[in-house]
A and B are shown apart, each in its own frame.
Chain A
Amino acid sequence: MAINIKDPSAVQEMMKGLWRDNPVFVQVLGMCPMLAVTNSAINALAMGLATLFVLVGSSALVSAFKNLIPKQVRISLYIVIIATFVTVIDYTLLALFPAIHKELGAFIPLIVANCMILGRQEAFAAKHTVGFAVMDAIGMSAGFLIALFALGSVREILGNGSLFGIDLFGAGFEPWVIMILPPGGFITLGLILLFFNWVTERKARFLEQVVAAEQAKG
C-alpha cells in the first residue's frame, strides 16, 4: 500500500463515508440488513463489523486485480469475490460466536446481496489504487456501522428498555414493543433521515449566509 495516511485526499476518501456520502443516510443503500437486524445494539454492531470485513477485503482485491478483470464479466467476478469473503465471515462467526450467528441468522449470507458493497466495487475500487480503495471501504463501512448502531440502540432502548442487554429503566418500564418489530425499524429510520436532512439543510443555509455576508462586505 503505497499511500501516506496523512495524505489529505486519502483521509477525505475515508471521511466522506461517515457523513457526506453516508451509505445509509445519504445513498439509502443496504436497507435490508439495516431494517432487519437492528432490533438490538449488539446485532447491529456484529452486522456492521461483518460488513466492514467483507467490504474492505473485496475492495482491496478488486482494486489490486482491476487490470486483470475483463470488464464484460466484472460484475460476476465481483460477486464471486464478495461471496467468498461472506462465506469466510459466516463460518468464522459460526465457530467463534455461535450466539451472535444464531441471532443474525439468514442475514449473514445476505451480505452478498448488500448493494452498498457491490456499488463500492463498481463506483470506486475498480478505478482507484488499493490504498484509496481500502480507505474508501473503511469509511463507507464505518458510516454503515454508525447508521446500524444508531438505529439498533434507539430500537433496543425503546423497544426492550435495555442497551447491549443491560436493563436501563428497571421494572417500571413498559417496553414499546413495536420498536423492535419491522414497523419500528421504518419509523426510526424515517426519523433519523429527517434529522439528517434537517442538519444538512441547516448547514447549507448557514454556508449560504456566510457567503452572502462575505459578498456584502467585499
Chain B
Amino acid sequence: MTIEQQSLEQQEPSSTKLALSLAFAGLISGIIIISIFEATLPTITANKARELREAVFKVLPNVTTMQKLQFDNGKLRVRTEKGADENTIYGGYGSQGQFVGYAVEGAGPGFQDTIRVLYGYLPEQRKIVGMEILESRETPGLGDKIFKDAAFVANFDDLAVDPEIKAVKKGTKSTPFEIDSITGATISAKAVVRIINEARVRWEDRLPAPGNEPKLEGKKTKDEG
C-alpha cells in the first residue's frame, strides 16, 4: 500500500458511518412524515367525507336526506358503522322520506392516475341523473375537462344505462345511452364511461327490486351536513 492510498483511506469515512448517517436521516424523516400524516389525517378525512356528502346531493336532484347503504350477505342494508368501503353506496331520499335514487361510487384508471367517480342512479327508470368526479389527476387543460367542461358533465344528467353507456365523438350523440366525448381528452372521457359501466354492472344484481329499497332510518338532512 502506497502512502498516497493510505492517506486517501484515512479521509474516507467508514461504510458503517455512511450507512448510519443515512439511517439516522431516514429515521428522523420518517418520524416527521408520520407526525404530519397523523396530524392532518382527521382534517383530510373530514374534508373527504364532506365533499362526498355534497357530491351525493349534487348527483341526485330533489334529494334532501341521505344514508349509507351496505351490501353484505347478499343483501342491502343501512350501514351504521362509520366510514365506507367498496360495498357501500348512498341512498338518497326526498322530503317525505321516500326513496329517490342511489349514489354509487366507482374508481378506475384514467390517463394519469385513478379517477374516482360518483354518479346518481334512478333504479326504476334505469337512468343516470348526475355525475361528479371525486378525485382525478388528469392533465390540466385537457383531461380535467371531465369535471371542468359543463357540457360534458351535463351528458350525465339524463342518461340511459341500457344496453351500456357509450362515448361517441363530440356532436354525434344520437341515442339516450350515448355521451358526447371531449375533443383532446378521449382517453379521460372513455375512462369515466368505463368506470360507470363497470360500477353499474357490479351493482346491477345487488340492488333490490325497485320499491324494496332500505327505508330511511334516523335523520341526516342536507342542512345538518
Q: Is the interface of B mostly helix, strand, loop or mixed?
A: helix
Decide: B43 and A95 in contact? CB cutoff 8 A.
Answer: yes
| Interchain CA distance A198-B28 in the complex, whole Å | 47
Determine if A171 is an interface residue (Cβ-Cβ < 8 Å).
no
Decide: B141 and A70 in contact? CB cutoff 8 A.
Answer: no
| Interchain CA distance A84-B25 in the complex, whole Å | 10
Binds A, one of B31-39, B73-81, B188-196: B31-39
| Interchain CA distance A102-B44 in the complex, whole Å | 13
Determine if A215 is an interface residue (Cβ-Cβ < 8 Å).
no
Determine if B62 is an interface residue (Cβ-Cβ < 8 Å).
no
Determine if A98 is an interface residue (Cβ-Cβ < 8 Å).
yes
Given the interface contacts A39-B141, A77-B25, A80-B26, does A70 sit within 8 Å of B36 by beta carbon? no
Decide: A72 and B36 in contact? CB cutoff 8 A.
Answer: no
Interface residues of A in 83-117 (CB under 8 A from B): 83-84, 87-88, 91-92, 94-96, 98, 102-103, 105-106
Determine if B51 is an interface residue (Cβ-Cβ < 8 Å).
yes
Closest A residue to B11 by beta carbon equals A71
Tell me the minimal C-beta distance from A30 to chain B in angstroms.
17
Decide: B44 and A91 in contact? CB cutoff 8 A.
Answer: yes
| Interchain CA distance A31-B155 in the complex, whole Å | 37
Determine if B95 is an interface residue (Cβ-Cβ < 8 Å).
no
Decide: B18 and A72 in contact? CB cutoff 8 A.
Answer: yes
Q: Inside 8 A of B25's CB, which chain A residues have their CB? A: 77, 80-81
Determine if A146 is an interface residue (Cβ-Cβ < 8 Å).
no
Closest B residue to A94 by beta carbon equals B44
Q: Inside 8 A of A37's CB, which chain B residues have their CB? A: 140
Closest A residue to B12 by beta carbon equals A72
Tell me the minimal C-beta distance from B151 to chain A in angstroms.
14
Determine if B29 is an interface residue (Cβ-Cβ < 8 Å).
yes
Determine if B17 is an interface residue (Cβ-Cβ < 8 Å).
yes
Tell me the minimal C-beta distance from B159 to chain A in angstroms.
25
Decide: B32 and A84 in contact? CB cutoff 8 A.
Answer: yes
Q: Inside 8 A of A98's CB, which chain B residues have their CB? A: 44, 47, 51
Determine if A68 is an interface residue (Cβ-Cβ < 8 Å).
yes
Determine if B211 is an interface residue (Cβ-Cβ < 8 Å).
no
Tell me the minimal C-beta distance from B115 to chain A in angstroms.
12
Ordered by A's residue number, 15 sampled pairs between the chains whose C-beta atoms are within 8 Å are A69-B21, A76-B22, A77-B22, A80-B29, A83-B29, A84-B29, A84-B33, A87-B36, A88-B32, A95-B43, A103-B140, A105-B140, A106-B112, A180-B141, A181-B141
> Interface of B with A (CB < 8 Å)?
12-13, 17-18, 21-22, 25-26, 28-29, 32-33, 36-37, 39-40, 43-44, 47, 51, 112-113, 135, 137, 140-142
